[in-house]
Each structure stands twice: as structure tokens, then as C-alpha cells.
Amino acid sequence: MISKQMQREVAGSSAIRAMFLEGKELARQVGPEHVYDFSLGNPMTPVPDSYNQAIIEAVQTESSLELHGYMDNAGYPETRQAVADNLNRRFGTEFEKEHIVMTVGAAGALNVVLKTLLDPGDEVLALAPYFGEYRGYTANHQGILREVRPDIPTFQPDLEDLEAKISEKTKALIINNPVNPTGVVYSEETIRRIASILEKKQREYGREIYMVSDEPYRELVYDGTEVPFLTKYYDNTFVTYSFSKSLSIPGERIGYIAVSPRMADREQALQGLSVANRILGFVNAPSLMQKALIPSLDARTDVDYYDRNRKLIYGKLTELGFTCVKPQGAFYLFVKSPEPEEQKFVEEAKKYHILLVAGSTFSCPGYVRLAYCVSYEMLERSLPAFEKLAEVYRRK
Amino acid sequence: MISKQMQREVAGSSAIRAMFLEGKELARQVGPEHVYDFSLGNPMTPVPDSYNQAIIEAVQTESSLELHGYMDNAGYPETRQAVADNLNRRFGTEFEKEHIVMTVGAAGALNVVLKTLLDPGDEVLALAPYFGEYRGYTANHQGILREVRPDIPTFQPDLEDLEAKISEKTKALIINNPVNPTGVVYSEETIRRIASILEKKQREYGREIYMVSDEPYRELVYDGTEVPFLTKYYDNTFVTYSFSKSLSIPGERIGYIAVSPRMADREQALQGLSVANRILGFVNAPSLMQKALIPSLDARTDVDYYDRNRKLIYGKLTELGFTCVKPQGAFYLFVKSPEPEEQKFVEEAKKYHILLVAGSTFSCPGYVRLAYCVSYEMLERSLPAFEKLAEVYRRK
């Protein structure tokens, strides 16, 4: 007697759960050291000490009632100010604390933004391949998700398709950068061209179209790659961020929304975000975490660790003849399936105890996602299994 | 260009914001010690030491990656087990850890339950007067809120009206106990009769009707009042709870859902809650708080403090001729307005620097809510102002 939508969602998530249980069963049969699980995007590098120290210090020195109490739904003024200052210093932006809303992670932030923006039937665009949760987030607020094709093999968005997909119902475009699942970083040139398409369409339809950036992987970039900061290119922009990956604290549910100081109807949008935060039941971002964050805004987990993994697995897979775009960010590799139905490739890999996720999950069949946020030792141990897997397809 | 619903919500919340700013302006004019703000339901008694100690100990002793990491969306198994054990010990229930889902407070819990249950157009009943946020929570998931009249002056629900309001579209009844804004506790007799009406209607319509309890004030009761634990009276029950009031930690956003072990389709409901937690963007209850909670499940903030306030303000107001039901729980007094339009009474009170909330906010015009979760000293200082206010109405 749960709702029809949730019955479908439960059925869908049962497949993921089945895979998870299958992995556990495999570990029981062959030993966990012989299972190579690349299915989960969980950070595994250390939490910065400064963060844990800040928690202890806050608990020891601050008034408990204030530390654990309600504040303005948008967050503590000092946290919002610290986030604004940090962004301004790093990106030359001009945020004031009023433009920052602290949230329950990026997932919370995206829901708060979409709740604020969407009337029933409004359309939201996502650039395939994309994080499958965007479908649920959009449906939560009665929006309709439409997909924009990628340019293959670069996996930058196909901008002609973007332009064709924008209609008078388009309210927002979600841009995840660096991209889960490809590890691609959309270039400054790409962002400029997207901005110019949106500007043109805004004029054509006489209504606002918002860029909503989702950038939990912003700090996880390699080879000095720069991730464009979107408010610099387009005024109607909401930046959503999570500290889950940069500080390895995904369970704490702490992130923010930064609203462009040049957004149309900015005051109403900011009030909307604050009210949406409350109505959706988040109320506010966890209070102690808001305080503990302040001295860690410049802290980073060990990105070099992921980089070492990236080089090893990308090098090995391309050497073995697999095709994949070289990731510039995040901790994913998006590998072309050597057979048309990638689900069969996922099954074949499982025979060698390699767990991967089908690209269909990200609206991009024919590919699989490999999450290399694993221990280097496991990665090394897995290489012979990839050799055997490659051998299967060489023989075919 | 924000959505139409959010434009209305922002307009509504602007009124509350205006009152808040008016209070600040008043404090500036006459000094904060001469403003008697009874408008906010914020806990103000101390956070138990055990809770702060548990935070420090967890940070110092546990693996940071686990402590701040993802867990099953429903929460850490040890936290869920500890909550189940605690409930079983106190209420003679038979929860297992599988029946407990940790949430981002009770507001998060209610949204997760409603997301799981509601198809568009389903009806949710609330017993007036009720916490106004229920309207937004229901609308989030395309449900329709219907109100059940109170019996006046007891403020127990009018059960004939309840029965009349149940239709073939009714999916859930929200029961807040102790009640915000009246401080009334629904008796065991009331709960038994509600359960029997719901049972009858379930049979009549051949579909499940769920009780959804919202009980953040469970531990804030006086004179030894007992709050019935709903799963003991009705099988299709979700209990939602928050530690905001019992531990004075509303900013931390930590609570849970307890699902009756005898609920119909229980497995599907539990999976639905877990998936809804994820899709709505909560993902999981804040991880460190889940750990810190375990040793504090039996801790309580200083309920005697609120009780002393209750006695003072209830005694004084009734002595002055005001009419109000004696609160048995929570920290609110629901006072009958001495003139038909309670908004005028709110304005009159403001002249004496007393800030109250109109009963219309709780779908009960003709009354005002007074939140006595304030310092005893402020309460004492406010009494002459109440005397002057009473005098105004004696002269009329």
C-alpha cells in the first residue's frame, strides 16, 4: 500500500541491492581480498585532522545550546560568511553571506533548488551520462527530466542537441562538473558556449532558465585541470556543493548553495531556498558540522592517492585494449563495453570478481562505470583479473 | 521566476519574518529585557553532558572514515539496535533494528513517511489545532490535507468529525502527541477510540489507513502524564521522533522512524522509507550524531525547568481571567483570545511587548499560542505586562 511511484523506486533499488548482496556472497565464497569491487563512489582517503580537531574544540568551547541549536534556516552567519570569503578568494567572485545557504549535502541542495524553481510540468535538462538520482530529484518536485546527448568520444555535451532540447518549459539545466560517471571536466569553452545558448533561449522565450551546478568533485582534479566556476559565466546560476568528497565526510550531510549575486529576482530566490530548506524537512544543515567546517574550508583530503589509482587503472585498461576517456577529475573511469549490451560485460567481469556499474544507470548504455576510490593494494591485486577479462574479448 | 507554490510560501513566511524583525526593532527601542518573546518553540534547557562527551569520544576513538562516512541509508546498525532496545525496554514493544530508520529530525521523518505513502490526491488528516508545517509536508508529496475539528474546551479530537472526514482517499492520520500548540496529551482512551475508527474504515474501504505519530515532545510531560505509544494500539503505525527537544539539539537534525512490526506490507514499507530517505536528498541521518546518540538515549534535558515555567504562567493567566487548557506536555499554552479576532489580541499584546502567535497558524482561530520555553527570569518580568493586558479587556 505504499505509493505507486515508491513501488517502482523500490523495485529499481532492489536491483542495486541484489548486486550489493551478490558482492557480499562472492566475498564469502572466495574471500574479500579476491573481490574487486569498483561499484561504489565512496571516498576512502583520510578525513583532514583539522576537521576532527574543530569538532572537539567547538564542543569544548562553545555554548551547547547555540552549538546544537536552531539558527536561521539558511545557516549560521559566520559559516555563510566564511564560505563566501573562501569562494571569493579562490575564484574572484563577489559573494556576500546572504548569497550562501547551508544545506544537507549536495543532494539536499539540489532538492532545495528544484523545489524552489519547479512548477508542475517544468522541464529540467541533464547532460548524459549523468548521476541517475537527478531523475528522482526532478520527479520529487513534479518536474520532467530531459536528457542531452554527449559528444562521443570526448564526452563533452553535444551542444546542438542541448539547443534543440530547450523548450518554453525548460526551467533549469543541471551541470555536474567534474562529471560522475566519466571523470570528464567540462572546459571553459564548453561552459561559455552553454551560457551563450541559455542566454539566447532566455531571450527567445522571455523567461529565466537557470544553470544548476552540482560539483561535489570540484577539488578532485588532476594534472592541474581547472574547473570553471559557473557564476562567472552565467548570471542565473545556483552552485550546489558538498564537502563529502573534499573532506571524506559523506555521512555528515553538509554542503551549500551559492546564488549568483547577479541572478534575476535574487531576493525572492534566496527566500525561496530558505523556505524550501524548511518545508522539505531539512530545516537547516547540521549545526555542529556548520561550525566545524569553518577552519577546514581550505583543507583537502589526499587527492594524490586517487591520482595514483587513476594512472594505474587508466594505463592498464588502455594497454589491455579497452577504450575509455582519460579522467581529469572525480574518481571514475567510464569504459566502453567491448560488446553492445554492457550488462553482459558487467556479468562477464563478475566472473573474474570485478564489480562494475552498467552505463544505463547513467542513461548511457554501452559503457560501464569503474569507481577507483579503492585501496591501491586492491587495485594492484585486481590487474590480473582485468587481463583475464581482456583475454575473453580478444578471443571473441 | 521561482515556482508559484514557493512564491505563495515566501509570501506567507514573510509575515513571520516581519514579526521577527518587529520583535528585534522593539528590543532596540525598549531594550531586550523589556520584550517578552513567547513566539518561538526553541528548547532552552541544557544539552546533557553525556551527549557532548559522546561526540568527543567518538571523534577521538573511532575510525574517521567510518565515523563520518556513508552507512546503509537507514542508519548504522548499532544505532538502530540501540533505539529499538530503548523503545522495547520503555514501552514493552518488540522492535528489531530493521524496524528503525534514522532520519534528519522529525521533519525529515515525516517527509520520508509521506513520500513513501502518498499517491497524488491522497488525503492526509490532521487533528486541529496542528503544527502548520504539516500543510507543506503533505503538499510536497501531492497529498491533500484535511482537518479534524477539536472538541472544545478539552482539545481532544472530535471523534465524530474524524470519522466523517475519512474517505476512500484517506491514506494517513497524523497524530502529534503531546500537542503543539495546546500542550494537551491525547489520552489512552482517545487513542483506543481513534484506532477503532481507523480499523473500521480500513475494513469499509478495503485499504490501509496509516497512523503517523509525530512526537518530538514525548519526554516533555508533567505531573506523571503518560503518552500512549501508538504501535501498541494500531498495527499500521509509523512513529516519528526527534531528539531536538529531549536533548535540546534541534540544530543537529537527528530523529528516527519506528515502523510497527505488525504493519501490513511491512517489508515494502521499510524499503520505501530507505529509498525515500535517499531520493529526497537526506540520504542518511548525520553520521556522527547517530553515534553520539547511543549513550544518551535515556538522557533528558531539565524538564522540571519547563514545568516551573508552566505552573507560573498557567497560574497567572487563569488568575487574570484568561481561559486556557492546562498543558500536560510540550512547552506551549493555548490561550483563548478575549476578542473574536485573535490577530487583534496579538496586536494588543504587542503594545505591552508580549509576542504571541495567532491560532490561525495552527488552523484554530480565536486562540493564541504562548511558548513558555523561556528563562524563568523573563517569565517573571513579563507578569506585570500580562496584568496590564488583562486590564485592557476588563475595561472593554
Each residue of A315-326: pLDDT tens digit?
999 999 999 999
Which residues of chain A are within 8 Å of residue B15 when distances are taken between CB atoms? none
Angle at A273 between CA B250 and CA A55, to 5 degrees: 40
Q: Average pLDDT, stretch B99-118?
A: 98
> Contact A136/B265, CB-based, under 8 Å?
no
> Contact A59/B52, CB-based, under 8 Å?
yes
Under 8 Å between Cβ of A51 and A296: yes
Per-residue pLDDT, B271: 96
Distance from CA of B392 to the nearest CA of A (A): 35
Per-residue pLDDT, B338: 97
Q: Average pLDDT, stretch B117-133?
A: 97
- In one-letter notation, the amino acid at residue A42 is N
Which residues of chain B are within 8 Å of residue A43 when distances are taken between CB atoms? 65, 69
Per-residue pLDDT, B24: 84
> Contact B43/A69, CB-based, under 8 Å?
yes
Residue A46 is classified by DSSP as P
* CB neighbourhood size of B321 (10 A): 10
Q: Average pLDDT, stretch A167-196?
A: 98
* CB neighbourhood size of A194 (10 A): 23
Strand B123-127 and strand B332-336: the pairing is unpaired
> Contact B9/A275, CB-based, under 8 Å?
yes
For the stretch A97-120, pLDDT in tens is 999 999 999 999 999 999 999 999
Nearest to B106, CA basis, from B179, B210, B214, B227: B214
DSSP per residue, B169-219: TEEEEEEESSPTTT-----HHHHHHHHHHHHHHHHHHTS--EEEEE-TTTT
The residue of chain B with its CA nearest to that of A14 is B271
Q: Which residue has the higher pLDDT, B16 or A173?
A: A173
Sheet holding A367-371, edge to edge: A332-336, A367-371, A357-358
Instruction: Work out the widest C-alpha separation in chain B, in whole angstroms.
Output: 68
* Length of chain A measured in residues: 396
Predicted model pTM: 0.97
> Residue A367 above 90 pLDDT?
yes
For the stretch A49-98, pLDDT in tens is 999 999 999 999 999 999 999 999 999 999 999 999 999 999 999 999 99
Under 8 Å between Cβ of A4 and B141: no
Three-class SS of A218-274: CCCECCCCCCCCHHHCCCCEEEEEECCCCCCCHHHCCEEEEECCCCCCHHHHHHHHH
Per-residue pLDDT, A86: 98
> Contact A115/B207, CB-based, under 8 Å?
no
Using the structure block, give the residue that is written with the C-alpha cell 568528497.
A245
> Residue A48 above 90 pLDDT?
yes
Q: Average pLDDT, stretch B243-261?
A: 97
Q: Average pLDDT, stretch B37-58?
A: 94
ipTM score of complex: 0.96
* Length of chain B measured in residues: 396
| Distance from the Cα of residue B299 to its chain's centroid | 19
A252 → closest Cβ in B68, B272, B282: B68
> Residue B20 above 90 pLDDT?
no
Q: Which residue has the higher pLDDT, B11 or A337?
A: A337
> Residue B124 above 90 pLDDT?
yes
> Rounded to 5 degrees, what are φ and ψ at B278?
-75, -55
**The C-alpha cell of B36 is what?**
517578552
Q: What is the dihedral of CA A383, A385, A391, A392, to 10 degrees?
A: -150
For the stretch B263-305, pLDDT in tens is 999 999 999 999 999 999 999 999 999 999 999 999 988 999 9
Integer angstrom CA distances of residue B355 from A167, A304, B79, B306: 49, 56, 40, 19
> Residue B83 above 80 pLDDT?
yes
Return the number of CB contacts < 8 Å for A and B.
250
Strand B170-176 and strand B123-127: the pairing is parallel
The residue of chain A with its CA nearest to that of B113 is A2
* CB neighbourhood size of B256 (10 A): 28
Distance from CA of B86 to the nearest CA of A (A): 23
> Contact A13/B271, CB-based, under 8 Å?
yes
> Contact B282/A284, CB-based, under 8 Å?
no
Which residues of chain B are within 8 Å of residue A288 when distances are taken between CB atoms? 55, 251-252, 288-289
> Rounded to 5 degrees, what are φ and ψ at A142?
60, 25
Distance from CA of A216 to the nearest CA of B (A): 14
Range list for CATH 3.40.640.10 in chain B: 49-296
Where are the extended beta strands (E) located within A263-361? 332-336, 354-355, 357-358
The residue of chain A with its CA nearest to that of B275 is A10
Range list for CATH 3.90.1150.10 in chain B: 4-47+301-395
For all residues of chain B together, what is the average pLDDT? 96
Which residues of chain B are within 8 Å of residue A253 when distances are taken between CB atoms? 104, 282-287
Distance from CA of A225 to the nearest CA of B (A): 27
Could you give the CA distance from residue B351 to residue A180 in angstroms, rounded to a whole number?
58
Per-residue pLDDT, B152: 94
pLDDT over 90 for what percent of chain B?
93
A253 → closest Cβ in B47, B142, B286: B286
Which residues of chain B are within 8 Å of residue A271 when distances are taken between CB atoms? 10, 13-14
What number of helices (H) and strands (E) belong to chain A? 13, 12
- In one-letter notation, the amino acid at residue A281 is G
> Residue A152 above 80 pLDDT?
yes
| Contact residues for A267 (Cβ-Cβ < 8 A; gap 6+) | none
> Residue B221 above 80 pLDDT?
yes
* CB neighbourhood size of A307 (10 A): 16
Which residues of chain B are within 8 Å of residue A119 when distances are taken between CB atoms? 3-5
For all residues of chain A together, what is the average pLDDT? 96
A2 → closest Cβ in B67, B116, B252: B116
Q: Average pLDDT, stretch B324-339?
A: 97
Distance from CA of B287 to the nearest CA of A (A): 5
The residue of chain B with its CA nearest to that of A254 is B286
Under 8 Å between Cβ of B390 and B321: yes
Per-residue pLDDT band for B387 (boundaries 50, 70, 90) equals very high
Per-residue pLDDT, B13: 83
Which residues of chain B are within 8 Å of residue A287 when distances are taken between CB atoms? 251-253
Per-residue pLDDT band for A23 (boundaries 50, 70, 90) equals confident
For the stretch A285-316, pLDDT in tens is 999 999 999 999 999 889 999 999 999 999 99
Q: Which of A3, A21, A244 to mutate to test the interface with B (most CBs of B within 10 A)?
A: A3
- Tell the CATH topology of B4-47+301-395: Aspartate Aminotransferase, domain 1 (3.90.1150)
Q: Where are the alpha helices (DSSP H) in chain B?
A: 4-30, 49-61, 64-67, 77-91, 105-117, 133-140, 159-165, 188-205, 266-279, 287-293, 303-319, 342-351, 376-395
Could you give the CA distance from residue A383 to residue A38 in angstroms, rounded to a whole number?
13
Which residues of chain A are within 8 Å of residue B46 when distances are taken between CB atoms? 64-65
Which residues of chain A are within 8 Å of residue B288 when distances are taken between CB atoms? 55, 251-252, 288-289
Which residues of chain B are within 8 Å of residue A279 when distances are taken between CB atoms? 9, 133, 136-137, 140
> Residue A17 above 80 pLDDT?
no
Could you give the CA distance from residue A68 to residue A253 in angstroms, rounded to a whole number?
15
The residue of chain A with its CA nearest to that of B64 is A47
Weakest-pLDDT range from A129-138, B23-32, B112-121: B23-32
Which residues of chain A are within 8 Å of residue B257 when distances are taken between CB atoms? none
Could you give the CA distance from residue A13 to residue B274 in angstroms, rounded to a whole number?
10
pLDDT over 90 for what percent of chain A?
93
Which residues of chain B are within 8 Å of residue A282 when distances are taken between CB atoms? 104, 107-108, 253, 281-282
> Contact A253/B283, CB-based, under 8 Å?
yes
Per-residue pLDDT, A217: 97
pLDDT over 70 for what percent of chain B?
100
For the stretch B155-180, pLDDT in tens is 999 999 999 999 999 999 999 999 99
B23: left (phi over 0), alpha (psi -120 to 50) or beta: alpha
Q: Average pLDDT, stretch B189-211?
A: 98
Nearest to A394, CA basis, from A344, A320, A318, A328: A320
The residue of chain A with its CA nearest to that of B118 is A3
> Contact B5/A52, CB-based, under 8 Å?
no
For the stretch A330-352, pLDDT in tens is 999 999 999 999 999 999 999 99
> Contact A287/B136, CB-based, under 8 Å?
no
DSSP per residue, A75-110: --HHHHHHHHHHHHHHH-----GGGEEEESHHHHHH
Per-residue pLDDT, B1: 86
Per-residue pLDDT, A15: 72
> Residue A22 above 90 pLDDT?
no
> Contact B3/A119, CB-based, under 8 Å?
yes
Per-residue pLDDT, B15: 72
**The C-alpha cell of B315 is what?**
497560574
| Contact residues for A60 (Cβ-Cβ < 8 A; gap 6+) | B56
For the stretch A231-270, pLDDT in tens is 999 999 999 999 999 999 999 999 999 999 999 999 999 9
Per-residue pLDDT, B186: 98
Which residues of chain A are within 8 Å of residue B247 when distances are taken between CB atoms? 68
Distance from CA of B111 to the nearest CA of A (A): 6
| Contact residues for B266 (Cβ-Cβ < 8 A; gap 6+) | B99, B259, B260
Per-residue pLDDT, B22: 84
Q: Which CATH number fits domain A49-296: 3.40.640.10, 3.30.300.180, 3.40.1190.20, 3.10.450.50?
A: 3.40.640.10
